[in-house]
Amino acid sequence: MMAARNSDHSGRHDRESVTATALRLLDDVGLPDLSMRRLAGELGIQPSALYWHFDSKQQLLGAIAERILARIPTAASTATATDADILNAARGIRDALLAYRDGAEVVLSSYALGFGVERTEAHLRAVLERRAAAESSVAATTLLQFIIGHALLVQQRLHAESVGAAQLGGGDDATGDVTAAFDAGVMLFLHGVDAAGSEAKTTLRYDTVDTRE
């Protein structure tokens, strides 16, 4: 195994260039056809050389997920986050996922194994903290899961329609009015967060009242 690695490792590629090529290939052929062998062929190296940079294909997908999510714009820093601020943050993540073929599925698979989305969760958490949301960490995780799930649904439906497999007339059309459905979901989430925050503040107020006579 080491001999194969030494013969393939020429220094022509680094982790960043391999990830960039993998992302381009993902956009061209889709996740099912993104194999390590195919990527190596695209780079002009032996498949074993890829393991100089990544221990496994899943680690490579994690790096691709990070690059996909790197498109997220930096949120403007204000004292208090409005509905528009959080909606824009959510849209930024959704747009990054939809910018690449099977982007949502790649991010979801990495997220399920606990890596690839740390920066994005921190981004959402920071915005929600500026809204004084109770349990902003839990809220950020929940919102991110909604965003990924919605984007995955849209991409799966688009793929089904592209191959003529979509069931017309069956259920809601996820691509019919994507923005309206997405925005409504985020607003429902925010109403729940606000309600939870109000309840937490009320409980805290009651708990701190001096009831001694």
Q: What is the CATH number of the domain that holds 16?
A: 1.10.10
Cα–Cα distance for residue pair 18/12, rounded to 1 Å: 10
Question: What is the pLDDT averaged over residues 178-194?
Answer: 87
For residues 81 and 141, membership in a common domain is answered with yes
Residues 56-93: tens digit of each pLDDT: 999 999 999 999 999 888 766 667 888 899 999 999 99
Asked if the model's pLDDT at residue 173 lies above 60, the reply is: no
Q: Is residue 212 part of a domain?
A: no
Higher pLDDT, 68 or 5: 68
Whether residue 149 lies inside any domain: the answer is yes
| 27 in any annotated domain | yes
Whichever domain contains 107, its CATH number is 1.10.357.10
| Within-domain flag for 59 | no
Sign, CA dihedral 98-102-106-108, equals positive
Q: Answer yes or no: is 173 within a domain.
A: yes
Q: Do 194 and 131 belong to one domain? A: yes
Say whether pLDDT at 169 is over 70. no
pLDDT for the residue 167? 60
Whether residues 45 and 84 share a domain: the answer is: no
Let me know whether 155 and 113 are in one domain: yes
Q: Is residue 65 part of a domain?
A: no
Q: Are 60 and 22 in contact (CB under 8 A)?
A: yes
The token pair that represents 27 in the structure block: 């956009």
Same domain as 100, residue 44: no
Closest CA to 24 of 100, 108, 97, 111: 100
Query: Between residues 153 and 211, which one has the greater pLDDT?
Result: 153
Q: Which of 49-73 are b and which e, b meaning 16 or more Cβ less than 10 Å from the residue's Cβ?
A: bbbbbbeeeebbbbbbbbbbbeebe
Is 213 contained in some domain? Answer: no
Give pLDDT tens digits for 93-114: 999 999 999 999 999 999 999 8
Q: If you average pLDDT over every residue of the chain, what do you get?
A: 82
Please state, in angstroms and rounded to a whole number, the distance separating the CA atoms of residues 102 and 9. Answer: 30
CB of 186 closer than 8 Å to CB of 149 = no
pLDDT more than 70, % of the chain: 77
62 within 8 A of 110, measured Cβ to Cβ: yes
Note the pLDDT of residue 129: 87
Q: What is the pLDDT of residue 120?
A: 93
Mean pLDDT of 163-167: 67
pLDDT tens readout for residues 7-37: 344 457 899 999 999 999 999 999 999 999 9
Q: Is the pTM of this model over 0.75?
A: yes
Q: Say if residue 11 is in the same domain as residue 94.
A: no
Segments forming the whole domain that contains residue 201: 72-207
Q: Are residues 121 and 48 in the same domain?
A: no
